[in-house]
Structure 1
Amino acid sequence: MFIKLILLCCVIVSGAAQAMLVQKQRFTLDNFSTENGQTIAQVAVGWEAYGTLNADKSNVILITHYFSGSSHAAGKYHTDDTAPGYWDAIIGPGKAIDTNKFYVLSSDTLVNANAFDKNVITTGPATVNPATGKPYGLSFPVVTIGDFVELQKALLDSLGISKLYAVIGPSMGSFQAIEWAVRYPDAVQRLIPVIGSAYIDTYSAVKLQRWAYPILQDPAWHNGNYYNKGQPLQGLSTALAYITQDALHPDGFNPRYSAMSTDNSLHHSITALPQAWQQLLQHAQTRATYQDANHILYLVRASQLWRAGMGDNWQQALSRVKAKTLFLPASGDLLLPPALSQHSATVMTAAGNAPQYAEIPGSWGHLDGVVGISAVAQQIEAFLN
């Protein structure tokens, strides 16, 4: 049994370079009860792990992923993959989250955005409802950050893992990480929320509604029942373009996209689309080939409803956290600005559990928590060790 739990990671040496190869696993439940009292039948999510689980299962670090991410946090599925997992810079042998020491595990969430990515396993509106033989669509229940955590808890229970050395996650993953420490304070020893906070304020929640609006207004959305007709691509692509822009800081955005004043067509036609917007849309249209419009709507709602403890008083819920904590917002983040992390840290301090705090430098804004994470690798390593 223990051999089966060594799971999935091998180190391939090619010259001086090392590529950590990882295999996707499937976790299933016959049914899952959501926080709003509904039951989902035959739930499945994908997961992967890096490193070796020790004998007493005390070296587990859980990585919880961001809004449009997946469980692919590090390594490659094949040696010829063009890119590794999103946090490969800090997860692996000898890295800040050292897989020579730790067993690092990550799972896809319910309603994962990448519903049609062959490397993602998730249950959501695009999944066929076994009771009807048709995709759930909007009959799928609203799910929350708490639901994501409870499904992860079921996965860990199935592996006999009852303690977490640390829970670490960026953005929406920070929400999940904090909720873990609130719900299971005796199980979580260390907590690192990256580019996130213990709550989402109304301003930020309304900003997220701008991501949902193009989908809801696309006639091809058909009130969520579009699976036999095709994705509402105009609405989905527009939503994904907004998501990309909102995740960037102007210092990272402006050098990458054309200046309006140099776009000759804009001087002659009011209906001409700026080249910068066309570039955003082109990138978004590529993502739209493997993402699902309804899943985006459900993730927006889960994020909008976020507050630690999922009750009426997130400040009181945060007082239950026993874990040593390190907040890592990004200095230039305009989506979930450092003030949200600072407020969360202040509340924890008032409750008697003063966290550490550092900011991720860079010009990418919110994305610095993903693409710029190596800038705080030393802080993460020191905190873990």
Structure 2
Amino acid sequence: MTTRRSLLAASALACFLPQVASAQSRVPPPPSPRPATPPAAPAPAGESLLVEKKVFEFQNYRTRGGANLATGRVGYQTAGTLNAAGDNAVLITHFFSGNSHAFGRYAAGEAPGYWDSIIGPGKPIDTGRFFVIASDTLVNLNARDARTTTTGPASVNPSTGRPYAMDFPVVSIRDFVEVQKLLLESLGVKKLALAAGGSMGALQVIEWACAYPGWVERAMPVIGTGEMDAWLLGWMDLWEAPIRLDPNWRNGDYYAQGRQPPLQGLAEALRIVTLQSRDRGWARDFGRKPGEGQDPSRRIQDRFAVEQWLDDNAMARARMSDANSFLYLTRANQLFLNEYDSRDAALARSRARWLVMPSVTDRVFPVEYGHELAAALKGMGQNVQTVDLKGPLGHLEGVANIAQAAAAIRTFLSR
């Protein structure tokens, strides 16, 4: 039975980035990058760390599609201490609408990161043992968030002095991995004791394990898939459609002064994503109740409570996001493992130990995708175990309710 607590947890996650951004608008820009250091204020076991957002800059990056990116920046945060061998690092990769705030708090009283329940002193991913890094991706959706640092279509093209818009090169999940590798090397990391991430983060984990098998000792893809098949490609296209149909989109040319961004189209796209990321159980508390001051039985324009909630939350997120970045992100997802002849050809390269965690109520990457990934790995003789996440939050079980797998994660890291 869906509880009010579960509903509130899912609601809080949906609003997470706008809420954080409003608090972040009162703080100065992130500092310049510097070598990894222990947390500024160590926390007792089981509590949240205080973490610092940093910026990594790189030059002359050649994308997997062959384009040159003269300069780029991604934000990141760390906790723990890198050992002398450089092999106790853990990389956390984020989901489609997320950023590097996977753990800890930026200031006392602020919201913790989305996986804070499993990352920190004495937690399953123990920062007393591991050096943990979480980074923003290229073309991050939250380009308008003060604590998201990314290079993408909303960034200024140094050769023109104007935003790239659709002149930004196409990038893939593999490009995310390549930029992360540059970041890790700059920090002195030689090997990953664990690569872990949820949803789009799971795709990055798998891409890491296939592209750099000598780097990844353990891989933990959560609520992910081992392949982007035609059905999933079609869903990505449906996500994009409202943006492309918004007249303010102008084929991506909406950054000029006096032009309005395609806010309505972006909100509609996020509304689709928001509902698909939840299961039926999440919505039971809404029932068929009308929205506040609404009467759908009398006026066709009036809304039910669930519709009103989706509208409000999608618009709040849209105001902190960039529509072109949404389109570039969906394309990056569509290009997952695109450099290999097949899923199995990619997975055969891995030498990692695997912990695969699908959600049984997932509507974005249905549970069979996770089971098929695990079966493929087992068929190759690879070391893999599967833990099914359960609960009413659907796809979000792998983000908001990851603590249910705490014991399995702790055991996985003890071997």
User: What stretches of structure 1 of length at least 5 have no aligned partner?
Assistant: none
User: What stretches of structure 2 of length at least 5 have no aligned partner?
Assistant: 1-33
Query: Measured at CA, do residues 204 and 254 of structure 1 come closer, stay the same or move farther in structure 2, by a change above 3 Å?
Result: farther
Separation in 1 of the partners of 2:241 and 2:410? 40
Which among 80, 85, 89 is matched to residue 56 of structure 1? Answer: 85
Partner of 1:44: 73
Partner of 2:330: 300
1:244 aligns with 2:262: no
Query: Measured at CA, do residues 256 and 10 of structure 1 come closer, stay the same or move farther in structure 2, by a change above 3 Å?
Result: farther
What SS is found at the alignment partner of 2:146? coil
AA aligned opposite 1:92: G
Partner of 1:368: 397
Separation in 1 of the partners of 2:154 and 2:281? 37
Which among 247, 251, 254 is matched to residue 219 of structure 1? Answer: 247
1:378 aligns with 2:410: no
Partner of 1:188: 216
Separation in 2 of the partners of 1:258 and 1:240? 22
Separation in 2 of the partners of 1:125 and 1:37? 17
1:171 aligns with 2:166: no
> Could you give the per-residue CA deviations for residues 12-53 of structure 1, whole angstroms, max 9, x where no partner exists?
569x98441111111111121111111112111001111111
AA aligned opposite 1:64: T
1:75 aligns with 2:104: yes
What is the count of residue pairs matched by the alignment?
379
Separation in 2 of the partners of 1:25 and 1:211? 31
Query: Measured at CA, do residues 332 and 219 of structure 1 come closer, stay the same or move farther in structure 2, by a change above 3 Å?
Result: same
Separation in 1 of the partners of 2:38 and 2:143? 23
Which deviates further from its counterpart, 274-283 or 255-264? 255-264
Sequence identity of aligned pairs in percent? 42
AA aligned opposite 2:277: A
Root-mean-square deviation (CA), in Å?
Answer: 1.9
AA aligned opposite 2:168: F
Separation in 2 of the partners of 1:214 and 1:8? 44
TM-score, scaled to structure 2: 0.87
**Structure 1 runs of 4+ off > 4 angstroms?**
260-264
What SS is found at the alignment partner of 2:50? strand
Partner of 2:374: 345
AA aligned opposite 2:217: Q
How far does residue 257 in structure 1 lie from its aligned partner after superposition?
6.3
> Could you give the per-residue CA deviations for residues 258-286 of structure 1, whole angstroms, max 9, x where no partner exists?
54699963222334343422221111111
Partner of 1:154: 182
> Could you give the per-residue CA deviations for residues 55-99 of structure 1, whole angstroms, max 9, x where no partner exists?
222210101111001011100111121x10110000000001011
What SS is found at the alignment partner of 2:112? coil
Partner of 2:23: none
AA aligned opposite 2:343: W
How far does residue 288 in structure 1 lie from its aligned partner after superposition?
1.5
Partner of 1:314: 343
Separation in 2 of the partners of 1:264 and 1:311? 52
The question of whether the paired residues in 2 share the 8 Å contact of 1:328 and 1:360 is answered with yes
Separation in 2 of the partners of 1:333 and 1:149? 25
